[in-house]
Chain A
Amino acid sequence: MLDAGQVLKDLDALWRTTGKHEGAGVLRACAMTMLVVTGEETDSGDAAETLAALTREHPSRLVLLRQSAALSRPEARANVQCWMPFGGRQQICSEQIEMESPALGELLPAVRGVLVADLPVVLWCRDLTLAAGAEMRELAALAGKVIVDTAGLRDAAEAWPLLDRLRAGRAAVADLAWTRITRWRETVQQAFRSPACREKLRALERVELRWAGEGTPTTVTYLAGWLRWLAPRAAVQLACIDPRMPSRGMGRIRELRLASPDFDVRLRRPEGVGVAIEIEGLAARVLFPRLDAAALLREELGVFGPDEHYEQALTRSRPS
């Protein structure tokens, strides 16, 4: 079994060494414990890169948990990540602990020992196959928020059982697939910003959502669910218009049309970062830059407490 006390001692020694090497000392920043679960199939280098990008905005004690069948016993390593703010004179550092084991369950006692006291705990499960396991329930019980990403699933139907299992726990569950559609929702808000337009939203008769790639992705079902909440009278039509899967980070939604006899809003996103908007004949353009995991997590980590919009969308996004 891993000794959490030893891991923390190693970390303490690292802080002392780092502080001595830097003339001005270092500034230790920590706003939460972030547990990150990866499996053998997921690329931990990729995770480290994402977390490094995240640490500036959400400095945290990162605890990277990796299930690795090749190991005969659990292992742990500690290190600190430092960066120099632009124009600053002092390094800002946050800490990272990596733990590996053939079975995630073996890491649980050590994980409990290394959580930062009195700060929120967030669990990001990168590997959806692990998200369904019993160990994950115990890890999730330590966290106030559990983050998964179902956008990679071919069809939303695969996501529902997993989300149900996670939502049975006490932690708030967030899905980065939902985070991916924030910009679509924001743009819809812009289109219906005036009180007169709000009336038109409630009176909408038709919502058309088009996407690329086979299957119906959760991003589409979430957006459809959210629009059903906002425009309960509208008939929602979903259609795949291109069976080819788009390139990574581009998102699968291609077109959203909100229509009634006297009102028509179209948002179209061809391949690229630009989105063409047509509102009652007025054309405009906005950017939806490519989103990476760090950008999605950045947004999600800024959301504390219940997320009513997600709950409402989720309720209306799946077949009853």
Chain B
Amino acid sequence: MLEDPLRYDAPVDPAAIVIFGATGDLTRRKLLPALFRLAYERRLPAGFAVVGVSRTAMSDDAFRERMRDAVAQFLEDTPFDEELWAGFARGLFYLSGDVQDKNLYSRLKQKLEEVDRERQTAGNALFYLSTQPSHYAPAAAGLGGAGLQQGAGWRRLIVEKPFGHDGPSAAALNRGLREVFNEDQIYRIDHYLGKETVQNILAFRFGNGIFEPLWNRRYVSHVQITAAESIGVEGRGAYYQEAGALRDMIQNHLLQVMATMAMEPPAAYEPDAVRDERAKLLRAIRVWTPAEAAENAVAGQYGPARIGGADVPGFREEPGVDPEAQTGTYAAITLEVDNWRWAGVPFYIRSGKRLPKRVTDVAIQFNRAPLAMFEAGAGRMQETYPNLLVLRIQPEEGISLRFFSKQPGSGMRLRPVTMDFNYGASFGARSPSAYETLLLDALKGDATLYTRQDMVEASWAVVAPVLEHWSSVKHDFPNYAAGTWGPEASGRLLARRGHEWRMP
């Protein structure tokens, strides 16, 4: 009877969050501001603590001071309240050590016991691996060695992407994690799934009766998923050189978005029911042969350009990047889903840097009307502007539907118009950040928006032939200019099937 879901959310358990990599950028920019925001919203229990773990030697007070600066700097849409911070900061603790050092974990165990006594965290602990990926398995092993994977309360582990750099390394990482934690204790974070508008795809599809009947091969011509950035690698050159657009965006975020958009209705809105359907969809994506991979994927890399009167470097001129780098800053791929709903419907996915604007959306293009019965030229118009449903993920979240309407006046001249639903206009309320949503879900034990190992493996299987093909050829990079929509070859990718990229 205490819960009043009409007015406020269910409370979360008392817990300690242990952040490995506590002095890193993610902790400063995202995690601590998200946690403080949750405190501001009264979403955290009184018994709550954060234990930061990193190599730098520091006292609890120094860590609090450092985190205070970070929260004050990166907190968005929320006033920094000194009184609230004072209470919040009492729950911040720090432990220095190397994740490779076994001794760290026995000290952590001791620290958690002290914190539990002081902050009444009920023995619950959420371990957050915000370190470099090579430390994930040693950290899990260290936690297991100290017996920290189980305790008086629940124990959970959050892992940041990347989950490996290919299928075998993802499987190896998983084996390392699973030696210590059960699958239901592991939360693989994909912050795209925490975005309100990605969650809204589920609401749009399964909360309404009018769209789902159209959501299949009979009515849909093809689907385009775009994630474009107008910026370059911005100081992440060294990391990006190892990853590239296919690994950095498509293998994880965009395949998850595609799975959300294309999956079958789950039996219930419950973690495993939703994740089962996502996983089924990912497994149903046809895995290309090497020859097919060559035909169905395009890599690109941006060159130097002059933007807004200033020279901007090409990818190969970015700091930390090999001047001969073969890494793609653009990737486009055609996928097909071998199931009854989508057989024969191409899914085109593209992602790139230094494109004309920052935009992420999913566009579902419907088949044109079977007959152009109006004035001459209407058929051509209908081909050029087919019915289109766009699910806009960022920056202007919303949904729009393009259809034809009669132009005012005599005769039957048609004109494409759009009907817009703007998320911000209809719900002007502040949306929680993806990290607020995902951290809260992990504290509640709700894994709906987290990826599962079978999904990770299926995603790697989808992109593996393309990665393999790309590693076997020498690309003629750079092959697109900053401010364009990618290399010319990406246009040909769609033209082969009689389609063309839209301009988002």
Please give the residue numbers on chain A whose beta carbons come within 8 Å of chain B beta carbons, in ascending order.
Answer: 27, 29, 31, 55-57, 59, 85-88, 90, 92, 182-183, 185-194, 198, 201, 229-230, 272-274, 277, 279-280, 282-287, 298-299, 302-303, 307, 309
Contact = CB atoms under 8 A, between A and B. Distances in A.
A57 B429 contact: yes
Interface string B20-50: 0000000000000000000110100111000
A272 B81 CA distance: 12
A31 B426 contact: yes
Contacts, number: 106
Contacts of B87: 284-286
B119 interface: yes
Contact of A190 (B42, B120, B427, B429): B42
A186 B428 contact: no
B3 interface: yes
A309 B7 contact: yes
Contacts of A283: 46
B8 A185 contact: yes
Given A194-B13, A285-B86, A285-B87, A303 B429 contact: no
Nearest to A31: B426
B420 interface: yes
B425 A282 contact: no
Contact of A189 (B3, B13, B119, B120): B3
Interface string B104-138: 00000000000000011010000000000000000
B7 A186 contact: yes
B46 A277 contact: yes
Given A55-B428, A273-B81, A287-B81, 10 more contacts: A27-B420, A57-B427, A59-B428, A194-B13, A229-B1, A280-B120, A285-B86, A286-B87, A287-B42, A298-B429
A92 B422 CA distance: 9
B105 to A, nearest CB: 27
Interface in B258-276: none
Contact of A279 (B4, B46, B83): B46
Contact of B119 (A57, A193, A282, A287): A282
A117 B425 CA distance: 20
A305 to B, nearest CB: 8
A282 B396 CA distance: 43
B486 to A, nearest CB: 24
Contacts of B84: 274, 285-287
B396 A198 contact: no
Given A185-B8, A303-B6, A59 B42 contact: no
A190 B45 contact: yes
Nearest to A178: B7
Contact of A88 (B3, B81, B396): B396
Given A29-B426, A92-B422, A189 B396 contact: no
17 contacts: A29-B426, A57-B429, A88-B424, A185-B7, A189-B10, A190-B11, A190-B42, A190-B46, A194-B122, A273-B81, A274-B83, A284-B46, A284-B87, A286-B39, A286-B42, A287-B40, A302-B6
B395 A201 contact: no
Interface residues of chain A: helix, strand, loop or mixed (majority): mixed
A286 B86 CA distance: 11
A187 B4 CA distance: 12
A260 B45 CA distance: 21
Contacts of B42: 183, 186-187, 190, 286-287
Contacts of A88: 396, 424
Given A282-B119, A282-B120, A85 B8 contact: no
A235 B46 CA distance: 26
A85 B425 CA distance: 8
A230 B2 contact: yes
Interface string B298-321: 000000000000000000000000
B6 A189 contact: no
Question: Counting chain A CB atoms within 10 Å of each CB, which of B4, B86, B120, B396 scores highest?
Answer: B4
Interface string B204-216: 0000000000000
B85 to A, nearest CB: 10
A107 B11 CA distance: 46
A59 B422 CA distance: 12
Interface residues of B, number: 36
Contact of B7 (A182, A229, A279): A182
B68 to A, nearest CB: 15
Contacts of B7: 182, 185-186, 299, 303, 309
Contacts of B395: 87
Nearest to A185: B4
Contact of A59 (B3, B45, B47, B425): B425
Contacts of A31: 426
B7 to A, nearest CB: 5
Contacts of B1: 229-230
Contacts of A59: 425-426, 428
Nearest to B358: A87
A182 B425 contact: no
A155 B496 CA distance: 76
A29 B422 contact: yes
A189 B84 CA distance: 20
Nearest to A286: B42
B269 to A, nearest CB: 19
Nearest to B11: A193
Interface in B414-435: 420, 422, 424-429
Given A29-B425, A92-B422, A188 B2 contact: yes
Contacts of B2: 188-189, 192, 198, 201, 230
Question: Counting chain A CB atoms within 10 Å of each CB, which of B1, B45, B122, B429 scores highest?
Answer: B1
A186 B1 CA distance: 12
Contacts of B83: 272-274, 285, 287
Contact of B425 (A27, A185, A194, A272): A27
Nearest to B12: A193
Contacts of B86: 285
Contacts of A187: 42
A191 B81 CA distance: 22
Nearest to A284: B46
Contacts of B4: 182, 185-186, 189, 309
Contacts of A299: 7
Contacts of A191: 46
Interface in B385-429: 395-396, 420, 422, 424-429
A87 to B, nearest CB: 6
A233 to B, nearest CB: 14
B396 A186 contact: no
A53 to B, nearest CB: 10
Question: Counting chain A CB atoms within 10 Å of each CB, which of B119, B424, B425 scores highest?
Answer: B425
B13 A193 contact: yes
Contacts of B422: 27, 29, 85, 90, 92
B13 A92 contact: no
Nearest to B420: A27
Contacts of A284: 46, 87
Contacts of B39: 286
B425 A189 contact: no
A57 B11 contact: no
Contacts of B14: 193
A201 B11 CA distance: 16
A59 to B, nearest CB: 6
B47 A57 contact: no
